[in-house]
Structure 1
Amino acid sequence: MGDPMRIRAAESNGIVDVKILMKHDMESGQRKDASGKLIPAWHITIVTVKAQDKEVFVADFGSAVSKDPFLNFKYKGAKGDKLQVSWVDTKGDKRTDEATVS
């Protein structure tokens, strides 16, 4: 399981602006270590965001996404919505964090 995500969500005129910073090394499987061996691929494969238990955002990631991915998206919502952000990586590791819309 990775480090906690930083989640910021603010509502304005019925639109919630969500910003998420995920801590993950996101190895592509194409880099080599000091001895010349390939570093195995290890990256987030899917990100899901739910608001009030309803999916508002789903993304499929690949090996080309950079280290410590940052997401920014908007959806129709309200102050006080409970956000749940989850990801799964290629090793089966999972992370889920929550935030409340301000």
Structure 2
Amino acid sequence: MASTIRARATLKGDTVTVKALITHVMETGLRKDEKTGKKIPAHFIQEVSCTHNGTETLLAQWGPAVSKNPYLSYQFTGGKSGDDVSISWVDNKGQKDSLTTQIK
């Protein structure tokens, strides 16, 4: 399966900027299927974790209010070119994905 995460980490001065786009349906559980009239079950990312060389730099608790295909951007200091940045997520159905990229 192809990764559901596209990410980039760039260094400017002493600040690393991480930008990521996660492909996910992010269903709230409140919408109804137009054909059947039944509610579409909730399916959303609950936790996003980001690390720099194994040290956690971001831990986010998300819920059903986050939009479909969420975009994440954050910054941290202390990174250098070539270091690893990892992003992982887990949703309310137990599905998960992760990606590691290098700082450029």
Using structure 1 for the length normalisation, give the TM-score: 0.95
Q: Over residues 51-83 of structure 1, what are the superposed CA-to-partner deviations in whole Å (9 max), with x where a residue is unaligned?
A: 100000110001000000000110002211101
Count of residue pairs brought into register by the alignment:
102
1:70 is matched with 71
Q: How far does residue 3 in structure 1 lie from its aligned partner after superposition?
A: 3.9
| 1:18 and 2:24 matched | no
* Cα distance in 2 for residues equivalent to 1:14 and 1:38: 48
The alignment status of 1:82 with 2:78, answered yes or no, reads: no
Aligned residue runs from structure 1 range 1-102, under 5 A:
3-33=3-33, 34-76=35-77, 77-102=79-104
The share of aligned pairs that are identical, in percent, is 40
Please, which runs of 5 or more residues in structure 2 have no aligned partner? none
Shift of 1:2: 7.2
Q: Scaled by the length of structure 2, what TM-score is found? A: 0.93
